[in-house]
Structure 1
Amino acid sequence: MKRLFKAITFILILGLSAPAVKAGAAESGYDKLLQRAEQLLSNYKDSEALTVYEEVLAAAPDNYEALCKASFLHSRIGDRYNDDSRKMEHFSKAKAYASHAYEINPTDDESNYVMALSLSCIAMISGPKQRLSVTNQIKSFLDAALADNQENAAAWHLLGRWYYKMANLNFAEIAASKMLFGGVCEKASNEDAVKALQMAIKYNPQNIRYYYDLANVLQDMNDHKACISTLEQALTLHLETREELELSRRCKIMLQEQVR
């Protein structure tokens, strides 16, 4: 179990897809800057893309697309640091941008997704009580995101991770959850995590992160056949980034262990 928690918390954000903000969200006059930022993001130049999105926000603080993308990028960039203070610097900005986007459009799937994502990041480096409190809030944003757009693969992925975390709390965390939140962990299971991760793969079958996380949960459930099948599918994907290649390496190692 300890091994699985270590694996499933590695590269928390890097495998997630950037928000695909709905057409018409861009404000007139900033289309070229937003297109430039999107191109940089598509080419995995996260820091450069973030700079352009924040350039838009400096002039147009209510630009919904820039708010969602800037929030996402702060979450992803912050996750790359080893130092918690640097992480929190980015995660706090991610939450601030997400909160503003949510105020503008509280029913849209992307504002709810980046809210859930920023909270997940903050929970990762928080103390036990705050982590439970923040984790308890995440589910409502994910439910709202999926109610608006059932095909939001990134939201399904984050929901799968939420189910897994809540289904595998330690004794102290379960007791605290019951006392503070009415035992929300009792409503989560590894089976729920599997179903949510499978939905993420259904709507974005090219993201190796989704396969890797699903394989870890299946391994924890001792479902070796499904785990092997998932890993084999993961190893057929076309990969481009260093993070994707690292996940592929881990999938290969896990597959070798499964077939011994």
Structure 2
Amino acid sequence: MAGASFSGNEQLLQQAKQLLNRYKDSEALLLYEQVLAAAPDNYEALCKASMLHCRIGERYSTDETSKMQHFSKAKSYAQKAYEIDHVDAESNFVMALSISAEAMASGAKNRLVGINEVKTFLDAALASDDQHAGAWHIMGRWYFKMANLNLIEKVASKMLFGGVCDEATNSQAAIALEKAVAYDPDNIRYYYDLACIYDEMKDTAARNTTLEKAISLTYETKEELELSRRCKIMLQEK
């Protein structure tokens, strides 16, 4: 029976992966959680379910309750995966992703706490796999956020954590996002975020080159089409 159960879970994981590759996030999540119902310590299912809850939660732009429910589940799965393997890149990545998602949807103090906590997991993820595009993406966003705290956030950060990280500059953010693009050149989100950083840096040439690459990609989802639309609008700006 144990062998049959293992075989069944492997089939579900394969089916979930195929759905994920076809951008059917909700359907894939159902299968990953079906695996977890039978095998709560399945590392792959924990990591993927955490990532998908983050991704799906982001789509609830006006429903804060549903958004936070997804982020809470994402963090719970990530913590279980981290308990199983605290060294692997993927467990550290989903920890960083879920903490970051929850933090950005929280109040000012919790947001700062979460943002500061994220860096440790990103460092660990990249120590395990220095070509992890997702980790580089969050690292870039982390640098950018820390480099552009408002005055109140800077004061609070100094009181809570001893100040803003000296490494947190827009240039460091751009370098991290450039690596995310290099390791996953088909992800329009990475290009869009990198273009936003170049725009903040007033580097119009780099911004426009990045945007042109972004709009040349093939898109499959509503989110990608929306990002493409934003890229085209930004490209028209001087």
What range describes the TM-score normalised by the shorter chain of this pair? Answer: over 0.9
SS of corresponding position for 1:94: helix
**Letter of the aligned partner of 1:94 in structure 2?**
A
Correspondent of 1:167 among 117, 122, 147: 147
For 1:231 and 1:54, how far apart are their aligned partners in 2? Answer: 37
User: Match for residue 137 of structure 2?
Assistant: 157
For 2:167 and 2:67, how far apart are their aligned partners in 1? Answer: 30
CA contact (8 A) 2:23 2:220 kept: no
**Letter of the aligned partner of 1:177 in structure 2?**
S
Deviation beyond 6 Å, 4+ runs, structure 1: none
Correspondent of 2:117 among 121, 134, 137: 137
Q: What are the equivalent positions in structure 2 for 1:30-109 lying under 5 Å apart? A: 30-81=9-60, 82-109=62-89
Cα shift at 1:83 = 1.3
For 1:184 and 1:35, how far apart are their aligned partners in 2? Answer: 43
User: Match for residue 217 of structure 1?
Assistant: 197
* Residue segments in structure 1 that go unaligned for 5+ positions in a row: 1-26
Correspondent of 1:203 among 183, 193, 196: 183
For 1:244 and 1:187, how far apart are their aligned partners in 2? Answer: 31
CA contact (8 A) 1:113 1:155 kept: yes
Identity of aligned residues (%): 63
Correspondent of 1:189 among 162, 165, 169: 169
RMSD: 1.1
**Letter of the aligned partner of 2:220 in structure 1?**
E
For 2:190 and 2:224, how far apart are their aligned partners in 1? Answer: 11
Cα shift at 1:235 = 1.6
- Alignment length, in residue pairs? 232
Moved more, 239-248 or 198-207: 239-248
Cα shift at 1:236 = 1.5
SS of corresponding position for 1:169: coil
**Letter of the aligned partner of 1:137 in structure 2?**
E
Structure (1/2) with the larger helix percentage: 2
* Residue segments in structure 2 that go unaligned for 5+ positions in a row: none
Cα shift at 1:184 = 3.1
Q: Which has the higher contact order (CA 8 A, sep 6+)?
A: 1
CA contact (8 A) 1:78 1:87 kept: yes
Cα shift at 1:189 = 0.5
